[in-house]
């Protein structure tokens, strides 16, 4: 009798366990990550347990001290540790890329210890590229979060002056949940900066059609008027 009860408990328990495993949705990250990266993440989780975010945070504290002491390679290494330990934390990708593409690269550009301008320029570009690579990797972990695409767009626009890439990133960012309405407008500004007024006008027209918020519409209309005026089109007529 006892054995039968044990068997029943075994079957019921195992069945219930499997039921929950079947209905449990896969963690969001698993849907996007390649298998190797998933195993890597789970290994880190298993080995470090609850200390995993703490290790990431301590690496992040070292990022701050490296920034203060202008040790850019150390800063980069610690950003990599933090993002590897806790890739689900957006702040590490977002701020890490800012440190690299803005702080490190501008510091290299203004590095008075280096007299050769071309070396300074090369170093500046190197850190901008590292920042871009970091954000691109971040978007693998967070493909549907507007913030990293927005940051990537800003990086392309401000640091690489690649307005086409910036437009694409802003556009992508604007399509995700939680994206503020200004992100869609930033895509329009990037198109303008790219030197393609026709594409920009078309974009603003489409954005105006989609926008329902009064203040957004008024801003877009103002922009459209200005663009039409600049390209000597009749502001009251629709685009050809």
Partner 1 sequence: MSSLYLRLSTLTGLTVRDLLRQNVLYLILIPAALTLLTLPLFTALTFEEQIKFMRDFCYGTMSIFGLFLAIIATAQSLANDLEQKTIFTILAKPLNRWEYLLSKGMGIGLILFFALIILTVLSAGLFAYQEKGLLEAAIGNATDRLSSQDLQRFRDQLWNPALLMAVLILYLKLILMVGFTLLFSTIASSSLFTIFTSLMIYLIGHFQSTAREWVMGSEGLSVGMKWGVGLLAVILPDMSFYEGAERILLGATPGWSYLIPPLGYTFFNLLWILGLSTWIFESREFR
When the beta carbons of 13 and 235 are compared against partner 1, the nearer one is 13
Distance CA 103, CA 159 (A): 11
Binding segment (CB under 8 A) for partner 1, from list 84-92, 99-107, 160-168, 169-177: 84-92
When the beta carbons of 9 and 119 are compared against partner 1, the nearer one is 9
CA-nearest of 12, 18, 91 to 53 is: 91
DSSP class of residue 50 equals: G
Binding segment (CB under 8 A) for partner 1, from list 3-11, 71-79, 184-192, 219-227: 3-11
Q: For the CB of residue 152, give the shortest distance to partner 1 in the complex, in Å.
A: 21
The tokens for 57 are 């945070």
CA-nearest of 32, 154, 29, 34 to 87 is: 29
When the beta carbons of 17 and 206 are compared against partner 1, the nearer one is 17
Q: Which residues contact 66 (CB under 8 A, 6 or more apart)?
A: 72, 74, 75, 78
When the beta carbons of 60 and 170 are compared against partner 1, the nearer one is 60
43 binds partner 1 (CB under 8 A): yes
Binding segment (CB under 8 A) for partner 1, from list 33-41, 114-122, 154-162, 178-186: 33-41
Pure H helices in the chain:
2-23, 28-32, 35-48, 52-68, 72-85, 90-98, 105-109, 117-141, 146-154, 163-174, 181-194, 197-210, 214-230
27 binds partner 1 (CB under 8 A): yes
Binding segment (CB under 8 A) for partner 1, from list 43-51, 111-119, 123-131, 152-160: 43-51
Are 167 and 192 in contact by the 8 Å Cβ rule? The answer is no
Q: For the CB of residue 116, give the shortest distance to partner 1 in the complex, in Å.
A: 33
Contact letters (x/-) for partner 1, 44-83, by CB under 8 A? -xxx-xxxxxx-xxx-xx--x-------------------
Are 100 and 131 in contact by the 8 Å Cβ rule? The answer is yes
Contacting partner 1 (CB under 8 A), which of 15, 178, 180, 235?
15
Distance CA 106, CA 96 (A): 15
Binding site for partner 1 (CB under 8 A): 2-3, 5-21, 23-24, 26-27, 30, 35, 38-39, 42-43, 45-47, 49-54, 56-58, 60-61, 64, 88-89, 91
């Amino acid at each position: 009798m006892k054995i039968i009860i044990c068997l029943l408990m075994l079957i019921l328990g195992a069945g219930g366990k499997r039921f929950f495993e079947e209905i449990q949705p896969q963690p969001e990250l698993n849907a996007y990550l390649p298998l190797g990266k998933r195993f890597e993440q789970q290994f880190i989780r298993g080995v470090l347990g609850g200390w995993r975010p703490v290790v990431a945070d301590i690496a992040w504290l070292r990022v701050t001290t490296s920034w203060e002491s202008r040790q850019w390679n150390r800063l980069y290494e610690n950003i990599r540790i933090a993002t590897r330990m806790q890739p689900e934390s957006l702040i590490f990708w977002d701020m890490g890329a800012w440190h690299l593409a803005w702080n490190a690269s501008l510091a290299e550009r203004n590095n008075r210890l280096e007299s050769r301008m071309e070396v300074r320029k090369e170093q500046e570009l190197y850190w901008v590229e590292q920042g871009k690579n970091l954000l691109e990797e971040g978007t693998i972990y967070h493909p549907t979060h507007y913030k990293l695409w927005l940051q990537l767009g800003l990086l392309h626009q401000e640091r690489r002056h690649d307005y086409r890439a910036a437009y694409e990133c802003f556009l992508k960012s604007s399509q995700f949940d939680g994206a503020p309405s200004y992100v869609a407008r930033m895509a329009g500004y990037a198109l303008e900066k790219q030197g393609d007024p026709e594409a920009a006008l078309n974009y603003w027209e489409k954005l105006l059609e989609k926008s329902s918020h009064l203040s957004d519409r008024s801003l877009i209309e103002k922009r459209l008027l200005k663009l039409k005026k600049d390209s000597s089109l009749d502001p009251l007529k629709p685009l050809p």
